[in-house]
């Protein structure tokens, strides 16, 4: 039996490994149901959809974004997705053009096939949906450790809402953080919405 996340002691690396083990052990049918529930909860918050939303293409083991991306795209929302350049440590952004226009990028991470729009394109997004491993009600986020989103979010509009997708057991009281770690404004799980600073 895996320990609950709250029972894991140690540094960021220990926490990351614990979350990844828990995610790998989840039942695929429950994962699919949770992905749809999470997306439906998020979409319900967008009663007046913004013209541009930034999100991510989920990799195996991450809270899935497929249903969310298709729904936004079908609603006419411009969806920006990250591309990880080979020579820079800052994401580029490209528009989502449908599931048949997805390729494999750096480290095998899925990315849009369209033309890059530059790091500054993120400023157009009213909502930014980010991945992570853990989040707190105060808005702290534990990511995978590359720092990509902290570097990307410096280009976001100050009014942008930043929403973190998690599983229910990944909302915790605290996570280790550094001064450069930027907070999120809400946590979205399959069963609840946690407003952090909206």
pLDDT, tens only, 81-117? 998 766 566 778 999 988 777 777 666 667 788 788 9
pLDDT of residue 86: 62
Q: Can you give the pTM of this predicted structure?
A: 0.88
Low-confidence stretches of the chain (pLDDT < 50) are: 1-4
Q: Which two tokens stand for residue 152?
A: 């990307």
Tell me: the pLDDT tens digits for 6-27? Answer: 555 567 888 889 999 999 999 9
How far is it, in rounded angstroms, from Cα 132 to Cα 122? 18
How far is it, in rounded angstroms, from Cα 96 to Cα 94? 7
What domains, with CATH codes, occur in the chain? 5-195 (3.40.50.10420)
Give the SS3 label for residue 170: helix
pLDDT of residue 11: 77
């Amino acid at each position: 039996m895996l320990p609950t996340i709250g029972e894991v002691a140690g540094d960021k690396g220990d926490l990351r490994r614990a979350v990844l083990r828990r995610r790998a052990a989840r039942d695929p049918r429950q994962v699919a149901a949770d992905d749809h529930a999470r997306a439906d909860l998020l979409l319900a918050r967008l009663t007046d959809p913004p013209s541009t939303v930034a999100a991510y293409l989920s990799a195996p083991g991450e809270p899935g974004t497929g249903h969310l991306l298709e729904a936004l795209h079908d609603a006419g929302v411009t969806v920006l997705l990250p591309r990880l350049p080979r020579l820079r440590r800052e994401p580029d952004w490209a528009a989502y053009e449908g599931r048949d226009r997805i390729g494999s990028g750096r480290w095998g991470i899925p990315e849009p096939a369209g033309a890059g729009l530059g790091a500054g394109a993120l400023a157009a997004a009213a909502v930014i949906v980010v991945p992570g491993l853990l989040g707190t009600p105060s808005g702290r986020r534990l990511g995978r450790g590359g720092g990509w989103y902290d570097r990307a979010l410096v280009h976001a509009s100050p009014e942008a809402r930043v929403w973190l997708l998690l599983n229910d057991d990944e909302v915790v009281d605290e996570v280790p953080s550094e001064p450069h770690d930027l907070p999120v404004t809400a946590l979205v799980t399959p069963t609840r919405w946690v407003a952090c600073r909206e």
